[in-house]
Amino acid sequence: MENSTFLASDYEKEQIDAIKKILRVYFSGDIEFSKNFSELKPNIDNKNLKKVLNELDENINRDDLIRYVNDINIMAYNEENKLCFMYDANRKFTKERKIALENYPRDKNYGFCIEKWINKCNSILSNSSSDLQNAIYSTMLDICCEEMGILVVRICEGDFDWTDNHAMEKLNEIVSNIRKGDFC
């Protein structure tokens, strides 16, 4: 599952909990946590999605996508601002994720810096039994949300300590930059 907590380390859980608390305050409670992606009714027939997923696994079919949509949980979602927040642990930066990101259409706004994520994949190159599945789930979320006008704010493990006293300032900086279209 996207952002599964059953694989999360204590550090990841601590960071995710801190981010959720800050988001709740930042959006004055107007935020949903652990929202199932299927509730947003994504278009799984998106041609950009099909193209990228084909680069990962040409055997993925529509039935697979229907099932996958129900498996994806969004860490936090703010409907009013159309912002989806996801925490990407280091284990998500894999060869498969890199392949997917390299095939994203570049004329779209996803809500995060694709080049930064590709560079993280290059430097970390994590390896687990769920690499392909995580890459598929993240790709589905990114591309389908973009089509719906939702920005996916991807928060990367290690970029900032969200238990820090300046976490609200950091979140404000991230959201302000995103509103200006500055994702990198």
pLDDT in tens, the chain (184 residues): 454 445 678 999 999 999 999 999 999 999 999 999 999 999 999 999 999 999 998 889 999 999 999 999 999 999 999 999 999 999 899 999 999 999 999 999 999 999 999 999 999 877 776 789 999 999 999 999 999 999 999 999 999 999 999 999 999 999 999 988 888 8
Helix, strand, coil: what percent of the chain each, to 5? 50, 15, 35
What's residue 9's pLDDT? 86
d(CA 78, CA 32): 6
**pLDDT value, residue 129:** 64
Strand-pair category, 83-88 with 151-156:
parallel
For helices 114-124 and 95-102, the axis angle rounded to 10 degrees is: 150
Q: Measuring CA to CA, which residue among 86, 73, 122 is closest to residue 12?
A: 86
pTM > 0.85: yes or no = yes
Q: Which two tokens stand for residue 114?
A: 């694709």
| Predicted local distance difference test score (pLDDT) of residue 85 | 97
Q: What are phi and psi of 97, to 5 degrees?
A: -65, -40
Instruction: Please report the pLDDT score of residue 131 as a whole number.
Output: 83
> In whole angstroms, what is the distance from residue 97 CA to residue 26 CA?
30
Residue 32 main-chain phi, psi, to 5 deg: -105, 140
